Structure 1
Amino acid sequence: MQGILPMESELKEILEKTANTIRQLSFEAVQKANSGHPGLPMGCAELGAYLYGHLLRYNPNNPDWINRDRMVLSAGHGSMWLYSCLHLAGFDLSLEDIKNFRQLHSKTPGHPEYHETPGVEATTGPLGQGVGNAIGQALGLKILEQKFNEEEHQILDAKVVCLAGDGCLMEGVSNEVSSLAGHLCLDNFVLIHDANKITLDGTLDQSSSEDVAARYRAYGFETLKMDGNDLDSIDQVMSHIRENQTRPVYIACHTVIGKGSPNKAGTSKAHGSPLGPDEVKVTKEALGLPEEEFYIPESVKAFFKERQEKQVTLEEEWKKHFKTWQGGHPDLAKEFELMQERTIPTNLEETLNKIEFPNPISGRKASQEVLQVLGSELPFLYGGSADLSGSDCTMMKSYPLIAQNDFKGRNIKYGIREFGMATVASGLFQTHMILPYVGTFFTFSDYLRNALRLACLSGYHVIYQFTHDSVFLGEDGPTHQPVEHLAALRAMPNLHVIRPCDANEVKGAWLAALNYPYPTALVLTRQNLPTLNETARPFNEGVGRGGYILKKESGKCDYCLFATGSEVSLAMDVAAALEKQGKRVRVVSLPCWELFSLQEESYKESVVGGDLGQRVSIEAGVSFGWSRFIGEKGIAIAIDEFGLSAPMSDIANELGFTVDAILNRLLSA
């Protein structure tokens, strides 16, 4: 992988042609769509040519090869740069796909999307998150390296390269994750900063004057700089990184945005809008490009065809090396296979049912008991918390912490970096060998929400343990008491929100989360809850259904009480009080609305359908959303205001979450 300084003239010539090909494919695709960002693809064309034409190790025929180098475009608005590179490199992305940029159901959406386009390593676009995903991938690879590499067989040694723009490095999330990467000394991570000094709204100096390289030195990165429009400069800086890297690397890559455009290069006019037909014409003339649209020189095609063959051979050679490692280390090879498959044991429910919980027990502590068992059963499960592992109970106690230059552990201390934590967790999942979970207080889900949203959009299997789930956490007060958060998360597509009512439902919640291939939010109490006899039922008759009848009425129903979480036991007490008044009452536990919605219509009708008398929801959160179960005439026992700083019992009395208060409200309605 070593470069020759100066670069070999023949290689340099073909990479220069490649760079101009990337420029032409990019600005023409943007122009054809009449939408997009031509500036970054044109400014970073030499970098793309060098990475995909010389430096990176990949096999376009097998985009998921475990020992490939990863390239993450954090500045996802420059997606045509990545698509052009992937097409030339031989990935399953045709020229027709390039021409269909930003069109309905195309493989070239406006921002790169995981699983939509071969070779795209992460869904990016909201700036800065790609940096976190890339660092998560780098951390995951370090974990796997330390677990499986032997002195005589280094089967894993891939690099993760991330291209970020000025905007990415202004967003706070990139600072969170870069600080963590420097702390952990990730010597397989390279951050390339496209330092073109232009943002969408104007020049960078209108909003920022910091020394970014100095900031990265403070994080613990090695800092370098290069001229991103000069192949010799790129080669001088990057050719030594594979063999000589000892810590994360930051490279200030100085480029001219929109390079080649006579009238828009170096300005914000090249950032977020097509060049325009006239500027396309003069740009082609300035660059010496043919009039033919989407033109790719035959020499460039031949170069990448030869490179593709070499890359395929590279993986075949690695497979032989890997097979030798398997033969010499059968136990490690078996664990490697388990982590690749990430299969949930068929008897896991039976195993979890053997756990003996104290009664009462909080949701968070019940979950911690479950985690201790899951850690031994699932070698691919890795967890972490945003400085709250003692409070959100996310620590797997039998395993050490991951630390600087030490990746043998299974627990990650993310520090007070909720947003960064969630982006790194997505990156850990992207290794295809790790199932990550993360924890924080429920109210702080707001900090990480956009990363959670991208995980849902992309189909990342990540589990989020949110504790201190309501106003009943008490004295910390309304700043820390979630009220609108359940409704907000339930509105997010692909997310399963599970709020278990006791230790039995916590076990079911984890089973549901492990078997659902998209994100799950486990919402757990700080306070102790009684373990109900009525919840001791098989998974597929309880939490696995999303909602179920906890208490059946005898005769015609007068009241149907719907509840989740800590309010389920309250609903049971209210039901008992109503029955003393001669009322017939049904109680329905609804731990996961999303799972319940997936059940067959006949089952849903048997639980929530028909004439159930007065319908009542009881949940310590906003009433928004409950109308689907209780209807317009239903009664919502809810909290449509912010909480209070007081002991839990005082809050319950003040906000009407007691048996007497609810009974009075129902009987007087």
Structure 2
Amino acid sequence: METQQMKGSGMNMPNDIPALDSETKANLAKIAAAVRVLSIDAVQKANSGHPGLPLGCAEIGAYLYGIAMRHNPKHSSWINRDRFILSAGHGSMWLYSLLHLSGFKVTLEDIKNFRQLHSITPGHPESHETDGVETTTGPLGQGIGNASGQALGLKLLAAKFNTEKQSLFDSKVYCLVGDGDIMEGVSSEVSSLSGHLCLNNLIVIYDANKVSLDGPLSDSCSENTKERYKAYGFEVFEMDGHDFDDIHRTMTLARKDQKQPRLIIARTIIGKGSPNRAGTSKVHGSPLGPDELKLTKEALGLPLEPFYVSQSVYDYFAKKLKEQEALEEAWNKKFAAWKQENPALFDEFVKMQEKSLPTDIEERLYKIEIKNPIAGRNASNAVIQELCKTMPFIYGGSADLSCSDMTWIKEADAVKPGSFKGRNIKFGVREFGMATMATGMAETGMIIPYIGTFLTFSDYMRNAIRLASLMKVQVVYQFTHDSIFLGEDGPTHQSIEHYAALRAIPNLHFIRPGDSNEVKMAWLAALTYKGPTALSLSRQNLPELKETKVPYSQGMGRGAYIVMKETRKPDYMLVATGSELSLALDIAKELEKLGKSVRVISMPCFEIFEEQDASYKESVFGGDLGKRVSIEAGVEFGWHKYIGREGIAISMDTFGLSAPAPELAEEFGFTVPSILERIL
């Protein structure tokens, strides 16, 4: 085939790609103009925002939404849609403008209410607020992680449901990143894994304007991004981000015959058109101001009327919408034929879409035979094996620790480069990237991912967990080695402050089960909660407690429950979590020998408990319960809400030490004699 050199790209371009006709280019230019007008006017009206990216990427946005994207704005949840993620979330007005113009549920009034209280156009895109926004972005680097996770999730679905005759899943995931995303370490983690796995449905567009918020990019970064991404396993293209012909040629090639993820380096001018700020950091994060806004519009030939959009732009997208609806309708016909020819696969499809649980799930969980005693991590692994037999939507992965955090699905293969039939994902030592990708996998709508590492490494993942919690995405984090009692690895690996830190995140259920019974019910809690759950599991063996084998609705489903009732008015109330629950029961028995009346409460999940009604809370913690004592091998922060100011918190107020677990229990006072001495 004859080839021609692609303008500005350094790539050989097949000459059989039809050029854009003049009418189409004129329409795209009008869309780009509308994006610029809406964006800078909205930022100016709010007196807050980032006009630089919308001015610099207007042509790219016009092409993506006006030509490239295969989706249906009137049915934004169509499962085989192309997905777009704005990792550079500070440029949100660029995205909101395009969503409005192309027919999503974003009105002109919404544009005018940019960054205002309770608007659907907040400062950074939020998927739970705005139609057409695929994930919540803002903290730089995480958007490309979510995009990589969505791409991986879609490859898993394609491997499961595509047949030789019908391909149900063949969409692309587009992601726009800026210099900040590229510099954030998480982009390295997810890009490395995406290249390794050959995610040939991921197209990353790099807005290479050579400017960061603090000034020229050259002040802080001089790497060769092109070679870096080639080393990851990406195919790298370059284009002029303001030239529709070059954009068209490059984007067409990028989508064609894709074998690996692709990076498009788009050379752009930040704040393009602003006479006094274009190409500088001054246009990055501040409104243009009335005078510069007027000068910018004049320089670009834009209408001076605020929020003006040519009717021809709306007309163009109205026509485009008919084509997009036809794309979905054609897919629906293909799906109907596939459904008829593959009834067993269709049943699996429905299970994954609905993520439905067996009606006897609680009974099944309690029937799992688990040895006694057993570490929390091992008990969880036994549960995972059972769940995966009947729940095809569960996929697992670990940050290079599956043999230790016990996340491996024994009867499933590993996902490998270019092969996505497995259910075990080796994320490598990339905890932050793993967490962002798990969010993306969940955002496919058909997967509940669980991911594992040691609890102390949740620090690496925290911001991803935070955003998953903001979106209430259903991800399960299996955190093991959850206390000083992991032993000899020492304080670098021993969690102290992590319980409190994770409990502080809104919408996250942090569950610290005390034995295998509570581990089973913790999984039931995670699968029924439509949001993220963190399981905190022990490395050391724990005894199975007869007191915890209660119906879900009376135990774990309450967050906290009485496992030992007092014989008369209590002298002591002991409340504990995790590995300290059995210790609390042992202490209670000793107190009873001394003639004391004791109530013992298991409190595996603060958040579930706080969701209970006032009468139940009062029945557990209300009234005169004597001396209140909490027992947990972490910081005491948060406990005095339940034990009162005068309550005794048996806790850790220092980092741990490197030693066998029994010696650490003696050293830090987590033994029956030590605690009795303190509370009597």
Q: Do the structures match in fold with TM over 0.5?
A: yes
Which deviations, in whole Å up to 9, do the C-alpha atoms of 1:203-234 show, x marking residues without a partner?
A: 10000000001000000000110010111111
Matched with 2:9 is: none
The within-5 A match list for 1:434-445 is: 434-445=447-458
Find 1:402's aligned residue among 368, 392, 415.
Answer: 415
Which residue pairs with 2:513 in the alignment? 500
Give the Cα separation in 2 of the matches to 1:479 and 1:569.
26
Would you say the 8 A contact 1:3–1:236 is kept in 2? Answer: no
The alignment status of 1:24 with 2:33, answered yes or no, reads: no
2:245 maps to amino acid: D
Contact kept? 1:361, 1:528, Cα under 8 Å? yes
Greater mean alpha carbon deviation, residues 499-508 or residues 315-324? 315-324
Q: In structure 1, what residue type is equivalent to 2:247? A: I
- Which amino acid is 2:208 matched to? A
In the alignment of these two chains, the number of paired residues is: 667
**Does 1:575 pair with 2:582?**
no
CA contact (8 A) 1:5 1:232 kept: no
Aligned to 1:41: 54
Distance between the aligned counterparts of 2:303 and 2:206, measured in 1? 31
* Shift, 1:300, TM fit: 1.2
1:51 aligns with 2:64: yes
- One-letter code aligned to 2:456: T
> What is the aligned partner in structure 2 of residue 605 from structure 1?
618
Asked if residue 385 in structure 1 is aligned to residue 398 in structure 2, the reply is yes
The aligned runs of 1:462-481 (5 Å cut-off) are 462-481=475-494
* Matched letter for residue 449 of structure 1: R
Deviations 1:513-534 (A, max 9, x none): 1000011110000000000111
String of CA shifts for 1:465-495, please: whole Å, max 9, x gaps.
Answer: 1000100100000000000000111111001
Q: How much has 1:243 moved relative to structure 2?
A: 2.9
CA distance in 1, matches of 2:546, 2:298: 79
Which one of 226, 229, 248 corresponds to residue 239 of structure 2?
Answer: 226
Q: Does 1:160 align with 2:179?
A: no
Counting only pairs closer than 5 Å after superposition, residues 74-89 of structure 1 correspond to structure 2 as 74-89=87-102
Q: Distance in 2 between matches of 1:540 and 1:321?
A: 43
Distance (whole Å) between structure 1 residues aligned to residue 303 and residue 551 of structure 2: 68
Is 1:411 matched up with 2:421? no
AA in 2 matched with 1:82: L
Distance 2:18 2:266 in 1: 18
1:526-545 aligned within 5 A: 526-545=539-558
For structure 1, the 5+ residue unaligned runs are none
* Displacement after TM superposition at 1:600 (Å): 1.7
Name 2:317's counterpart in structure 1: 304
Q: Does 1:364 align with 2:398?
A: no
Residue 239 of structure 1 aligns to a residue whose secondary structure is helix
User: Shift of the alpha carbon at 1:242?
Assistant: 2.7
Does structure 1 residue 629 correspond to structure 2 residue 629?
no
SS at match of 2:367: coil
Question: What's the counterpart of residue 519 of structure 1?
Answer: 532
Cα displacement string for residues 50-92 of structure 1 (whole angstroms, at most 9, x for unaligned residues): 0000011010110010111000000000001101111111111
Q: Does the aligned pair in 2 maintain the 1:386–1:440 contact within 8 Å? A: yes
Q: Return closer, same or farther for 1:380/1:610 CA change in 2, 3 Å cut-off.
A: same
Alignment correspondent of 1:279: 292
* Equivalent in the alignment of 2:200: 187
Output the CA distance in 2 between the equivalents of 1:3 and 1:273: 44
Report if the CA contact (8 A) 1:3-1:239 is conserved: no
When the two structures are superposed, what TM-score results if normalisation uses the length of structure 2? 0.97
Q: Give 1:317's aligned residue.
A: 330
Deviations 1:81-133 (A, max 9, x none): 10111111111110111111001111100000012111100100000000000
Secondary structure of the 1:161 match is strand
Q: In structure 2, do the counterparts of structure 1 residues 260 and 5 end up closer, same or farther at CA, with 3 Å as the change threshold?
A: farther
The reply to whether residue 448 of structure 1 matches residue 457 of structure 2 is: no
Is 2:284 aligned against 1:260?
no
- 2:487 corresponds to 1:484: no
1:4-15 aligned at under 5 Å gives the runs 4-15=17-28
Aligned to 2:111: 98
- Kept in 2, the 8 Å contact 1:357–1:366? The answer is yes
Extract structure 1 runs of 4+ deviating beyond 6 A. none
Among 197, 216, 228, the alignment partner of 1:215 is 228
Within the alignment, does 1:170 sit opposite 2:196 as a pair? no
1:432 aligns with 2:445: yes
Identity fraction in percent? 63
The secondary structure found in structure 2 opposite 1:412 is strand
Q: How far is the alpha carbon of 1:345 from its aligned partner? A: 1.7
3-state secondary structure, aligned to 1:444? helix
Determine if the alignment matches structure 1 residue 139 to structure 2 residue 152.
yes
Match of 1:241 in 2: 254
Q: Report the 3-state secondary structure (helix = DSSP H, G, I; strand = E; otherwise coil) of the residue aligned with 2:236.
A: strand
Of 293-302 and 36-45, deviating more is: 293-302
Letter in 1 for 2:519: V
- What code does the residue aligned with 1:26 have? S
Deviation at 1:5? 4.8
- Taking a change above 3 Å as real, the CA distance of residues 205 and 163 of structure 1, as seen in their structure-2 partners, is same
Q: Which amino acid aligns with 1:236?
A: R
d(CA) in 2 for partners of 1:3 and 1:31? 44
Measure how far apart 1:578 and its partner are.
1.1
Shift of 1:286: 0.8
CA displacement at 1:7 relative to structure 2: 2.0
Return 309-318 or 125-134, whichever deviates more: 309-318
Distance in 2 between residues matched to 1:242 and 1:216, nearest whole Å: 17
Cross-structure match for 2:12: none
Structure-1 separation of matches of 2:628 and 2:407: 37
AA partner of residue 258 (structure 2): Q
Q: Which residue in 2 is equivalent to 1:199?
A: 212
1:35: Cα distance to partner?
A: 0.2
Kindly state the Cα deviation for residue 141 of structure 1 after the two structures are TM-superposed: 0.7
Amino acid aligned to 2:459 = D
Q: Does 1:73 align with 2:86?
A: yes
Structure 2 unaligned spans of 5+:
1-14
Q: CA RMSD in A?
A: 1.1
Q: Secondary structure at 1:244's aligned position in 2?
A: coil
Q: Which amino acid is the alignment partner of residue 601 of structure 1?
A: A
Letter of the 1:437 counterpart: Y
For residues 499 and 3 of structure 1, do their structure 2 counterparts lie closer, same or farther at Cα, with a shift above 3 Å needed?
farther
Distance 2:53 2:465 in 1: 27
| Preserved contact between residue 39 and residue 257 of structure 1 (Cα < 8 Å) | yes
Q: Residues of 1 paired with 2:674 and 2:313: CA distance? A: 77
- 1:5 and 1:235 in contact (8 A); partners too: no
What amino acid is the match of 1:336? Answer: F
Q: Secondary structure at the match of 1:322?
A: helix
Distance (Å, rounded) in 2 between the aligned partners of 1:334 and 1:237: 40
How far apart, in 1, do the equivalents of 2:315 and 2:51 lie?
26
- TM-superposed CA distance for 1:146, in Å, is 1.1
Bigger Cα displacement from structure 2, 335-344 vs 53-62: 335-344
Instruction: Write the distance in 2 (CA, Å) between the matches of 1:19 and 1:632.
Output: 61
